[in-house]
Chain A
Amino acid sequence: MRAFVLSLAGAAAFGSACAKPAPISSQAPTLTVGLGFGGTAQAPSRQYMIDSLSGEPLVAIDWNGRFQPRLAAGWTWSEDGLTLRLHLRPDVVFHDGTPLTADLVVADLKRSFNPAVLDRVTSISAEGPSTVMFQLTEVDAFLLGQLNNVPIKKGKDRLIGTGPFLLRSQSPEFVFESFPRYYQRPPAISKVLIKTYESPRAAWAAMMRGEVSFLYEVSRNAVDFVEAESRLQTFSFPRPYYIPIVFNLNHPILGRREVRQAINEAINRTEIVEKALNRRGDPADGPIWPQHWAYNPGVRSYSYNAAAAQIRLDAAGFPEVVSGRGRMPKRFAFRCLFWKEDPLFEQIALVVQKQLFESGIDVEMVPATLKEIGERHTSGDFEAFILQMTSGRSLDWVYGFWHSAREKKSGTVMSGYLGADAVLDRLRNARSDEETRIAVADLQRVLYDDPPAAFLVRPETARVIDQSFEVPSEANGRDVLGTLWQWKPRPAASPGAQR
């Protein structure tokens, strides 16, 4: 009996010894990023990823469109608003150990920026070792937002940045290593690899096989299934983009405001979100980022009302007529280009076409490549097109797409739209929050009264991360990429770590 008890005790001791938690891996924690190209995920995504890792701008824009210090610890405007001084952080060094100085910043700004973008800036200079001074011809509320768009780098190919990760190699894949002298704190992740795949499917397949720990983007059709996986964390968030039908106001019919208003009323945006975006998105009411601090949700926006649209078209002199055998009865017709390389746009086009058909508008949806659309919208050779456009989280993007002066200079969209120029100018010249808020509300009204486009939807996207990494909770509902430098490998014994 004694022998039995003793053997049980021995077995228990052995079992408890065997059940000790596994030790934390001594290997450097590596994050492998999978980037799948195709559709809206294009090569610029890779550059965006690279810039997020290795570079930092002077000024950051937070989720609500507010400017936040980054490499610039702060800034001051002159009394007349024509001089901006950025005061650099003293503790920042480049990846090669060179301290961040005003001279280096000035040199990079001059090299990186298109003068057409900083069209109100007459000079950029260093005022002392840590102050960068901008001289302007006019007040420019968008200048700080513009500075967010370019990370400060040095080197012949602008590969040496100040970001949390330094670029070690570019071939066969991009390899980044943690920068121990990053001024905030060195990242817990030691290494980041970026692997590119020919399609989002291939990238996702790689993640399913465990070859990738962070999927840059997963398609809306697949998110439902990915969310169910216990070993993955899915972060969905609204992207700062919108999808409109942009009208060419030089078109004899689309140039008429009431027609454009009727088209906006004839479109059921909720149905587009439902059927084309698989409920992964929101209806759009304009180009302004809905989370922007100045956005006014109380301003009127278009809701679906096919009957009102038809009445408006009747009143505008566009009754429904039968034009002949083999042709649908219609009020009028126009041709709309859509981006054929992304199946999403074919779906949107189908839904929109059906909705407009029900109001008697015959839209011929013409598939086109991105290049074709780009060429045609910059040349004005279009009637309408459906494309994804950037709203960004700052207001300079809105100005850039919808101000007629910008069209001429940078050749973005030659739609002939002038209706928002005045209010966009006020927006750019605003020198206070109050002025900005008033200008934004007015812009929303202008875009409602005289819509240059039917703003359809704002798509959502999702990024997927392996459970072996812990992500800060403030990333929920927002782009988790912004917090990548704060991610931590989960200890091997914790419940979340399942790799």
Chain B
Amino acid sequence: MTRITSRFVLLIASAAVAPLVLYGLVSVNHLRSGTQNSVTNGNREVARQVAARIHLYFDNNVRVLRSVGTELVNTHLEEWQQARMLRNHVLDFPEFRGITLFDTAGRQVATSRLVVKQVILPDPADIPESGVYIAPLQLDQDVLPTTIIFLRLDSQQRESGWIVAEISLEELWRTVDQIRVGNEGFALLVAEDGTFIAHGNPDKKRLVAAPLTSSSPERAVATELRTVAAKDDDSSRDYFDSTGRKMLAVGARVGTPSWTVIVEQPTDEAFAITRTLERQLTAAIALALLGTVVLGWFWGRSFITRIFALTKATRAIAEGRMDERVSLSGRDEIRQLGDSFNSMADKLVELQEDVRKQERQAMFGRIAAGLVHDLSHPIQNIGNSCKLILKMFDDVEYRETFKRTVDREMVVVKRVLDDLRNIARPIPLERFPVDINRSVAEVVESMQQHSETAGITLRAELAPETAFIDGDLFALGRVYRNLIINAIQATAPGGLVVAATEAHEKRVQVRVTDTGCGIPPDRLGAVFEDFVTTKRRGLGLGLAISKKIVEQLGGQITVSSEVGKGTTFVLDFPRTKPRPMALAAG
């Protein structure tokens, strides 16, 4: 990914994606906590309503009893009438199993019961101020809960007896059974001692039948919530029930009696809406993100693609493919940049063509000048000799001189023509292991007279060990001679030219160093180019051909120079093994 693409993506992320994600996280979090609180409060409200209904149930029963009792006491009915009245009430209000009227001394006055059942009035110390005492819960033969309500009757500001009713709490079961929160939320009723009075979940009714000492997750949470509800604390509890399902439980106190209504609902149902909303919100945010990214991608793509096209075209131009152009769509600045690029490329081609023309002209000029320079002298000499031979044809000695002159000048011409030919094509070389020390030493030896004539000391400094390179002895000799001649020509009399060899493990080097005038830095890079020379004579192909020979032999040639101090040419070749003696002998 290029830097601009990275930056572009980062721009979209910071400008659009990051705020959107942050908003999403905050929204989801608030939604979750808000709806969970709402569900919990809703369930607690249901529990409170059920508790209120149960309280009302007891309250109503107490009212009925009080009404019956007062009527019985105040109307001075006969015993059979009182009994009849009580029995009618029992038949009309099925929750009353039996009602009995007692006098202040605790003697039974009238009863609805046909079967005598002993009733023990409560200890006065246990009776609240209201005069209503509700006995602890009992379970009857059918597991249905019953309790006994003791109501003190007061007539004309004085105690006038008791009315006692055994009440079946079957109606409470029905009330609890009817409570539904969602599809799987139920209510249950727990007595003050932890007894399960009723459970709305048909599959958990066994808890009602289970002994108080039995343990279960439901019983544990019911105990907790009883304590919580007694303190009017609004806490809820999450727990795993005996089937392993996570439940949300809330409690509410009935008051009188001191029972607790618990409403429980599986959390996966209770918070289903929360989860649905979360999913919807997450989906909406994800869609928005996706939309942002897609739009950004499409827009960015159009932007970056054009930049990539420009980059590619620029590279192509740099690589020399001058015909490369860009075609950019749009009407913006990028398009203008593309048009400018195309104009620039067109101009570059023109300039390049101009430069080529000029260079071609310069090169041809140089070649022509070199050829004229190198060939005019031998041709002039041959011409002059031809003129003389016409006059001195009979002179045998002159005929020999003529022949020698022509041969000599023809060699020069041939050499110039050979150089020209060699620069254009690979130079034919015969490769075989060459003793570098020996090859250098032979050339130095052969050029001693030349160097003495120029007043320059020519010396060979050879490596102590013998080293071979894979080379052409003749071609290498030409290279050494060329370098040494150049060094001699560049060095003033009294100077020094050294041809040295160095042998390394895998490379062999030949150095030709002089103490001449040096080569200026601006010309150093072109010394190996064709037709480049500082001399008055020559085509300037000597170093070019030397470089070609060295490179064909797998080596490389470099130059370093300092004006006024001298120049060093370094030939670097891969070292090779000497030819086996048997081959050498053959």
Flag if B141 contacts A343 (CB, 8 Å).
yes
Q: Which residues of B contact A326 (CB under 8 A)?
A: 78-80
Q: Which residues of B contact A222 (CB under 8 A)?
A: 142-144
Interface string of B80-121 (1 = CB under 8 A from A): 110010011011001000000000000000001111100000
A142 at the interface (CB under 8 A from B): no
Flag if A275 contacts B91 (CB, 8 Å).
yes
A350 to B112, CA, bound (A): 8
Flag if A199 contacts B79 (CB, 8 Å).
no
Q: How far is the CB of A81 from chain B (nearest CB, A)?
A: 49
Selected contact of B114 from candidates A327, A328, A367, A498, CB within 8 Å: A367
Q: How far is the CB of A471 from chain B (nearest CB, A)?
A: 19
B210 at the interface (CB under 8 A from A): yes
A124 at the interface (CB under 8 A from B): no
- Residues of chain A from 194 to 213 with CB closer than 8 A to chain B in the complex: 199-201, 204-210
Q: What's the tally of chain A residues with a CB closer than 8 Å to chain B?
A: 39
Flag if A201 contacts B87 (CB, 8 Å).
no
Q: Which residues of B contact A351 (CB under 8 A)?
A: 91
Flag if A328 contacts B80 (CB, 8 Å).
yes
Q: Which residues of A contact B139 (CB under 8 A)?
A: 201
A354-B91 in contact given A225-B173, A229-B202 (Cβ < 8 Å):
yes
A365 to B168, CA, bound (A): 23
Q: How far is the CB of A482 from chain B (nearest CB, A)?
A: 25
A209-B206 in contact given A275-B91, A326-B79, A340-B115 (Cβ < 8 Å):
yes
Q: Which residues of A contact B79 (CB under 8 A)?
A: 326
Interface string of A176-206 (1 = CB under 8 A from B): 0000000000000000000000011100111
Chain B interface residue number, banded = 20 to 34
Q: How far is the CB of B92 from chain A (nearest CB, A)?
A: 9
Q: How far is the CB of B441 from chain A (nearest CB, A)?
A: 69
- Residues of chain B from 45 to 96 with CB closer than 8 A to chain A in the complex: 78-81, 84, 87-88, 90-91, 94
Most buried by B among A225, A230, A328, A367: A225
Q: Which residues of B contact A2 (CB under 8 A)?
A: none
Q: Which residues of B contact A231 (CB under 8 A)?
A: 202-203
Flag if B142 contacts A204 (CB, 8 Å).
yes
- Residues of chain B from 187 to 209 with CB closer than 8 A to chain A in the complex: 202-203, 205-209
Q: Which residues of A contact B94 (CB under 8 A)?
A: 275
A325 at the interface (CB under 8 A from B): yes
A353 at the interface (CB under 8 A from B): yes
Selected contact of B206 from candidates A208, A219, A325, A367, CB within 8 Å: A208
Flag if B90 contacts A350 (CB, 8 Å).
yes
Flag if B87 contacts A353 (CB, 8 Å).
yes
Q: How far is the CB of A295 from chain B (nearest CB, A)?
A: 32
Q: Which residues of A contact B173 (CB under 8 A)?
A: 225
B140 at the interface (CB under 8 A from A): yes
A340 to B116, CA, bound (A): 10
B177 at the interface (CB under 8 A from A): yes
A412 to B47, CA, bound (A): 57
Interface string of A326-344 (1 = CB under 8 A from B): 1110000000001010010
Flag if B114 contacts A350 (CB, 8 Å).
yes
- Residues of chain B from 130 to 186 with CB closer than 8 A to chain A in the complex: 139-144, 168, 170, 173-174, 177
A346 to B90, CA, bound (A): 12
A380 at the interface (CB under 8 A from B): no
Interface string of A256-300 (1 = CB under 8 A from B): 000000000000000000010000000000000000000000000
Selected contact of B141 from candidates A201, A209, A353, CB within 8 Å: A201
A367 to B117, CA, bound (A): 12
A338-B84 in contact given A219-B142, A225-B173, A350-B91 (Cβ < 8 Å):
no
What residue of chain B has the Cβ atom nearest to residue A232's Cβ?
B202
Q: How far is the CB of A381 from chain B (nearest CB, A)?
A: 20
What residue of chain A has the Cβ atom nearest to residue B78's Cβ?
A326
A206 to B115, CA, bound (A): 29
Flag if B142 contacts A229 (CB, 8 Å).
no
A205-B209 in contact given A229-B203, A230-B202 (Cβ < 8 Å):
yes
Q: Which residues of A contact B91 (CB under 8 A)?
A: 275, 350-351, 354
Flag if A208 contacts B114 (CB, 8 Å).
no
Q: Which residues of B contact A367 (CB under 8 A)?
A: 114-116
Flag if A201 contacts B142 (CB, 8 Å).
yes
A221 to B95, CA, bound (A): 12
A222 to B143, CA, bound (A): 8
A416 at the interface (CB under 8 A from B): no
Q: Which residues of B contact A219 (CB under 8 A)?
A: 141-142
Selected contact of A200 from candidates B81, B141, B168, B203, CB within 8 Å: B141
A491 at the interface (CB under 8 A from B): no
A39 at the interface (CB under 8 A from B): yes
Q: How far is the CB of B176 from chain A (nearest CB, A)?
A: 10
A298 to B131, CA, bound (A): 58
Flag if A205 contacts B143 (CB, 8 Å).
yes
Q: Which residues of A contact B203 (CB under 8 A)?
A: 229-231, 498
What residue of chain B has the Cβ atom nearest to residue A200's Cβ?
B141
Q: How far is the CB of B490 from chain A (nearest CB, A)?
A: 69
A357 at the interface (CB under 8 A from B): yes
A19 at the interface (CB under 8 A from B): no
A38 at the interface (CB under 8 A from B): yes
A349 at the interface (CB under 8 A from B): yes
Q: How far is the CB of B203 from chain A (nearest CB, A)?
A: 6
What residue of chain B has the Cβ atom nearest to residue A325's Cβ?
B78
Interface string of A240-253 (1 = CB under 8 A from B): 00000000000000
Q: Which residues of B contact A205 (CB under 8 A)?
A: 143, 209-210
Q: How far is the CB of B94 from chain A (nearest CB, A)?
A: 7
Instruction: Please name 11 further chain A to chain B contacts, defined as beta carbons within 8 Å, in addition to the given A201-B140, A224-B174, A326-B79, sorted by A numbering.
Output: A204-B142, A205-B210, A206-B209, A221-B170, A229-B202, A229-B205, A338-B114, A346-B113, A349-B114, A350-B91, A367-B116
| 5 contacts across the A-B interface (CB closer than 8 A) | A210-B206, A221-B170, A222-B144, A338-B114, A350-B91
The list of the 9 closest CB pairs from A to B, nearest first, reads A208-B206, A205-B209, A208-B209, A229-B202, A228-B202, A219-B142, A367-B115, A222-B142, A365-B114
Q: Which residues of B contact A (CB under 8 A)?
A: 78-81, 84, 87-88, 90-91, 94, 112-116, 139-144, 168, 170, 173-174, 177, 202-203, 205-210
